[in-house]
Amino acid sequence: MQKNRQKIVVMGLGYIGLPTASMLATKGHEVVGVDINEEAVNIINSGRIHIVEPDLDILVRSAVNSGNLKASTTPEEADTFIIAVPTPFKNGEQAHLKIPDVSYVDAATRAIAPFLREGNLIILESTSPVGTTEAIGEIINQLRPDLAQHPGTNNYSPQVFIAHCPERVLPGYIIRELVDNDRIIGGINRASAEKARDLYNTFCNGTIFLTDSKTAEMSKLVENSFRDVNIAFANELSLISDRVGVNVWDVIELANRHPRVNILNPGPGVGGHCIAVDPWFVVSAAPEEARLIRTAREVNDHKPHWVLNKVKAKAARFKEPVIGCLGLSFKANIDDLRESPAMEITKGLVSSGVGRVMVCEPNVCNGSAGMELHELSQVLREADILVVLVDHDEFKGIDRELLKEKVVIDTRGVWR
């Protein structure tokens, strides 16, 4: 048996859990991936994948064929338990404040509690509000008093080690970034952080920084809030440029010639389960103090409505307009629809009845997005209005001659 080989249970086999489980398996660990989606479990056990991510299919097939990775709907005893489940919003809003929902983390913790043994390690990878990692320890205290924890105490030998290691990967580059990116590990005590570091050292080439769990949680939220604030600046520039009649892409390109200016690109909004979500975790924790972060979120949340109104205004010029929406995912060349502004805009156009809406999304199977999808050639042929919502590679090489008779609304600057 390989030295330091562990048995690892990964709770959640989505965009983070499955790559992480597969990577650990290819490094010689015995990995059980757990998910409530039985169809996904069966697909993975056949050596295939249920999500789109470059090179993930090769990694999963290798891990399954090696015998080191299997998927299941139930956890079992292990040395380490990794929680990689969603942390969405609770239903509804309180005073326009979006509240994080950690019920999936709670459920995963309760599911593994009966299988815990002295000396086990629990790692939370899910991006979570500050204090969630310590809350896992509190749940363990309630369910397993024989494994009582004392968060924040360094002068004792823990019964169970608990740490937070937030994922820091970019969809489309997950496999490479799992290995190469620096990692932050925050433990409920130093011993927990060190034990988690030893595991991540088996596959991470990046530098691993140790801290406490609350600092690690806050650091991840700050990373995505920083991106969100900067995207909001670009999106606000796009609104201002449209009002005063200049091309925002030209403005940004020229402004970025300054050696200390680096403005990001605007778009139809901000999507995905990180940048569009995590800043609200900060706002909900300190609503009076997080004024800039909250305003940036509101700017980015408003952008899809602005795009929607712009399309409707163009459609009003036609008797029976055909509107071609290009892209549904939240970013280029992936199939992830979570919090996608493109999806929000497209659904808004369909429900408004402003015209016939044709959708092209090359990374999603027909019907899986809840609407009929069309080939790009058909959309280009039949649409009066073309709305670029995602900068997929398939859209970049379109012959500009095909666009001459169309009304074009390019939210990504693909055809400028």
Partners of 326 in the β-ladder: 360, 388
The angle subtended at Cα 73 by Cα 69 and Cα 77, nearest 5°, is 65
Contact assessment for residue 164 and residue 133, using Cβ atoms and an 8 Å cutoff: yes
Q: Which of 4, 47, 12 has its CA nearest to residue 29?
A: 4
Active-site residue, 98 included: no
Neighbours of 77 (CB within 10 A): 14
CA atoms of 231 and 350, how far apart (whole Å): 27
Active-site residue, 274 included: yes
Q: Which of 322, 356, 357 has its CA nearest to residue 343?
A: 357
What the block records as the tokens of 53 is: 């991510």
CA atoms of 414 and 392, how far apart (whole Å): 9
Cβ neighbours of residue 309 closer than 8 Å, sequence gap 6 or more: none
Spell out a b/e string for 145-183, using b for 16 or more CB atoms within 10 Å of the CB, else e: eebebebeeeeeebbbbbbbbbbbbebbebbebbeebeb
Q: Which of 331, 57, 327, 21 has its CA nearest to residue 170?
A: 331
CA atoms of 98 and 81, how far apart (whole Å): 29
CA atoms of 72 and 64, how far apart (whole Å): 13
Phi then psi for residue 162, to 5 deg, are -135, 130
Which residue in 98, 195, 220, 303 is the catalytic one? 220
Secondary structure class of 81 (helix, strand, coil): strand
Phi then psi for residue 179, to 5 deg, are -85, -45
- The bridge status of strand 161-164 relative to strand 183-187 is antiparallel
Helices (H), 286-340: 291-315
Q: Per this entry, what is the length of the chain?
A: 416
Which residue in 165, 204, 274, 325 is the catalytic one? 274
Question: Residue type at 18?
Answer: L
Contact assessment for residue 231 and residue 275, using Cβ atoms and an 8 Å cutoff: yes
Exposed/middle/buried for 387, CB within 10 Å: 0-12, 13-18, 19+? buried
Question: Which residues are part of the catalytic machinery?
Answer: 220, 274
